[in-house]
Structures are given as C-alpha cells and as structure tokens.
Amino acid sequence: MSSIRIIILASILLLVGCQSVDKPSSENVTVRLIHDKVRSTVSTSSTNIDDLLSEQGLELGPLDRILPSQSTLITNGMDVTIIRVEEELQSEDIVVPFEKQVVRNDGLPVGESRLLQTGTSGLEQITYRIVKEDGNITSKSILRRTMMKKPIDEIIMVGSQATYTIVPIEGSLAYISSGNAWIMSKSSGIRQPLTVNGLLDGRIFELSDDSRYLLYSSKPNQLTAQKESFNELWVVDTNSTNAEPLALNVQNVLWAAWSPKDPLSIAYSTGEPRTTAPGWQAHNNLQIASFNEIDTEIVHTTILEPSAGGSYGWYGMQFAWSPNGIYIAYAQADKIGIIDLSNPTNPVKKQLTNFSHYQTWTDWVWIPALTWSPDSKFIYTVAHGEPIGLELPEDSQIFNISALAIDGSFQAILAERTGMWSNPVVSPTSNYGFQVAFLQSNNPLQSVNSGYTLSVMEQDGSNTKTIFPTSGETALKPQNITWSPNGEQIALIHKGNLWIVDNESLISQQLTSDSQTSQPSWGK
C-alpha cells in the first residue's frame, strides 16, 4: 500500500510541474526603445528583440543596424536602439589645372621664348559614396574618378642656342628631343618641331626615304587608353607647317618601318600589354599598312599570323626591309631568316642560320640587329659566337659581325668580338661600293654594359677604322646610328646630344645641346 501512495504522489507532483512550464508568463518588462530620433519607454511581454520589433510594428531597412542584435533576449530596463542607415552617391565636378611644360630649342637664341601651345584646364568628375546614420554623415569615400576633359599643357619653347657652327645638312635629319620630334632640313640652323605633346616613346622613329613623312610611335594621350595599349603608331607630314599627325590605327607596336618600294606603306609587328616585365607579350606577327594621302584610308594586310615565336617569342622579333622591297629579314633570339614577298598573297619564310641564344638571366632578350646590302643580296648582322672557355654556349660573351647571303651560298665573320650592341648599318651605295658602320665594344668580353666606339669597315670587312669619339673621350652608349643619304656622314648621339661625323675627314660637329636628344633618322 505504501508503494501505491508513493506512485500516486509522484504522479501528482509531475502533473503540477508540467502545468507550471506550459503556463505563459503574464509579467511584462520595461525597455527603452530609441529609433528615428525618438526615445520611448515601452512595456512588453516579448522574449527577444525581434519579437519586440514585430510587436511595435517597426521595420528595418536593408542597411539599418540594431543594438543589441535581434536574437538578444529581452531583460528589464534594457536599451534597444535602431540606427537608420542610408547610402547615396554624390558627384562633383572639379577643374584640373593645366601644367606648364618648357621645351629647350637650339634653334632659338638664349633668352628668347615662344608659346607653342596654349594651356587649357581640364574637368574631372568625382563620384563619392556617402553613408549617413540617423541623418548624419559618417563616411565619405571616392567611388570613381572620370576625366571628362583632359587638360592640355601649356608648352613654352625656350631658346638654348649654343655657339655652334651652322653646317649644311644633306636632305633632312630628324631626331627626338624631350619626347618630341624635330627635323633639320638643308642646314643645322633650320629646324622645327613636328610634335609638341612630348609623348614619343622612341621605339619607332623613321623618316621615309624622301623625308616627306615621319613614322613614329607615341604613348596614348588619354588616361583610359593607357590601360589598353602602351603605344600608338602615327605619321606626320614633314613638309607642312603645323601638320596634323595621322593615326594609323595601330596600337602596341614593337617594330615598324617604311616600305622601300611604296612611299605610303609600312610594315609593322605588334604585341599586347603586360603588367610584368618587359611590359608586353609579342604577337610575332607581321602586317603591312598602306594609306592614302587624299582620304587617309588605311588598308592592313597580314604577312605573318600571330604565333608563340619559340622559347623566347614573348619578347618579339626584329625585322628589316630589303632595299628592293622584295624581302623582309627577321631575327629571333636564336635564328635569322627572310620572308619572300614576291607573291604577297603567299609569302615564303626561309631560315638562313641559327645559333645559341644568349642567356641574360633577367627579363630581357638579346635579338641581333639586321641591315641589308644595297643590292639586297646580303644581310649584315651580329652573330652570337662560340664560347672561348668552359662556359655553356648560351653564356658565351663573344659577338661578331657577320654577312649572310640570302641564297645560302655564303656566310662569314667580318669583324670579331665587336660586342652585342655593335648594331651594323650599311651605307648607301656609291661608285666605290658601300661601307659598314658599327659600334665597337671597348670591353668585348663584357659588352652588355660596355662603352662603344664608332667604327667603319669596307663591305668585305677590310680597312676597319675608328672614327668617333677620339681616344680618351667618353665612350658612346649602345644606340642605332644612321648614314647621310650620300654615305659621307654618320649621325649619332653622344652625351645626350646629336652629332654628325664626316667619314673621310673624321671631323665631328655637335648639333644640339639640350642633352635630351635620341633616335636620329636621315632621309633624302
């Protein structure tokens, strides 16, 4: 009987306990509710803040914040704060002042100046992202900047004419100074700028054979375009004062040169921008562009389709037109050949020689320079020679000037240990044949960082002579030199200035003094 009583008593206690759990609490708690700049005290039976919001009919916007969080259990006397958050975009136009650019001009006496280009302020639109909390700005950040109108620099030409003797110039001699193209015609005292924007990058700079046009590459003028291309190809008429350059609608140019047959045609090769060194990925292609003087229509023809170009193809290829316009020589890091354009619809590519590439151990590639004999039968170039010690072929420091017959019948070294930057250039033909000018390394076994001296030899490699600079003077830096149209003088850069050297008398003459000159190009 006692056990039955115990069971009954336990059942009664369990029933009473269950009834106490299931019975809702009728006691309310008081909380302070702060929202929309209003403070109020409310009595609520809600268990958490989310229920409280529903009870009070309050809704949260997508950016609103609540303190504490909605899942927090409510306690008596607590504060519940709703912060209204808004986001808006606000645009502001600001004036971008133009900059003043000073260009030194050897054609003006010291103290004189001329305004080449009037400066114009630009306009930039700045869009801000503004965040407000309960109507108060808590953050303001720039979302984007848009250049609505690019400022145009004011360019002032300042005279820097030195007391150099004015000398006659055969044909026209063009050069780059402070990022602009300049040209001298018939006299070193008659010179004029062909561009004034200071954007020439120096990669492409060549006068047409008759000096009527200048082909050049320049950095893009628009900020947005600079993200898509590292340069653009242009042509300007050298015979017209203040001529407007013609855009050839070609970007990312790695090589370009005038056709020797058609005065209104060029060949070019392109790449694409890269953020890593050297700044591009070569296409290893070859195109021909022809334009029309009247309506400036430009026609592009493909000679070589884009390709990987071998192990070092990412750096690109070097090309050179033959004087007769039938061939284009090409050079890669380990081979040289020609492209036969006798049938433009079916060009034939032929390799002439191969050699070990030069291991630079860095982010650039050595590619041989190319120049043609006037009869278009031979290519003069720099050949990577065999090692003279125990080093691997790709580590050899030997570089020689060689001649290659395009029919494969002849290949010979004409000058030994001239250096990797010897860059031979063949002179125009004369009654006595032709000569080859080249740069001779002063330290042939370390020619990558060596100084150089200008030398000239006969077409067969004989009678080599050093002509500039004289012994004891500062050596030349690696560069591309150019012959005068009659083959009597050579133009080059020395200490940042343009010089010409007479091949017979060895007399030299400095033509500029701004120390910012480069890329001479000489035409008839």
Q: Is the pLDDT of residue 359 over 80?
A: yes
Task: Please say whether the beta carbons of 270 and 250 come within 8 A.
Answer: yes
Per-residue pLDDT, 163? 58
Bridge partners (DSSP) listed for residue 439: 454
DSSP run (H or E) holding 56: helix 49-56
Angstrom distance (rounded) from CA 417 to CA 368: 14
How does residue 223 score in pLDDT terms, banded at 50, 70 and 90? Answer: low
Angstrom distance (rounded) from CA 45 to CA 66: 19
Nearest Cα to Cα of residue 33 among 45, 49, 9, 21: 49
Q: Is the pLDDT of residue 104 over 80?
A: no
Domain 87-149 fold is Resuscitation-promoting factor rpfb fold (2.20.230)
Per-residue pLDDT, 24? 40
The amino acid at 323: P
Class of the CATH domain delimited by 29-83: alpha beta
Mean pLDDT (the chain) is 88
Both tokens assigned to 322 = 């033959």
Give the number of other Cβ atoms within 10 Å of residue 275's Cβ: 5
Give the list of residues 6+ apart from residue 229 with CB closer than 8 angstroms, or none: 220, 251, 252, 273
Specify the higher pLDDT residue, 286 or 98. Answer: 286
Angstrom distance (rounded) from CA 140 to CA 146: 17
Per-residue pLDDT, 400? 97
Per-residue pLDDT, 292? 80
Residues of the chain with CATH 3.10.20.30: 29-83
Angstrom distance (rounded) from CA 6 to CA 182: 117
The amino acid at 324: N
Per-residue pLDDT, 153? 83
Both tokens assigned to 378 = 């031979």
Residues of the chain with CATH 2.20.230.10: 87-149
Percent of the chain at pLDDT exceeding 70: 90
Specify the higher pLDDT residue, 233 or 145. Answer: 233
Task: Please say whether the beta carbons of 492 and 501 come within 8 A.
Answer: yes
Phi-psi region of 211 (alpha: psi -120 to 50; beta: other; left: phi over 0): left
At 476, give phi and psi (nearest 5°): -80, 150
Eight-state DSSP code of residue 10:
H
DSSP run (H or E) holding 438: strand 435-441
pLDDT tens figures, 138-190: 999 888 888 888 888 888 877 766 556 789 999 999 999 989 999 999 999 88
pLDDT tens figures, 366-424: 999 999 999 999 999 999 999 998 999 999 999 999 999 999 999 999 999 999 999 99
pLDDT tens figures, 37-82: 889 899 998 989 988 888 888 889 889 999 999 899 999 989 999 9
pLDDT (average), residues 207-235: 86
How does residue 472 score in pLDDT terms, banded at 50, 70 and 90? Answer: confident
pLDDT (average), residues 442-448: 94
Give the list of residues 6+ apart from residue 48 with CB closer than 8 angstroms, or none: 70, 71, 72, 73, 74
Angle ∠(43,48,52) on CA atoms, nearest 5:
45
* 3-class secondary-structure state, position 54: helix
Q: Which of 268-272, 291-295, 335-339, 449-453 has the lowest mean pLDDT?
A: 291-295
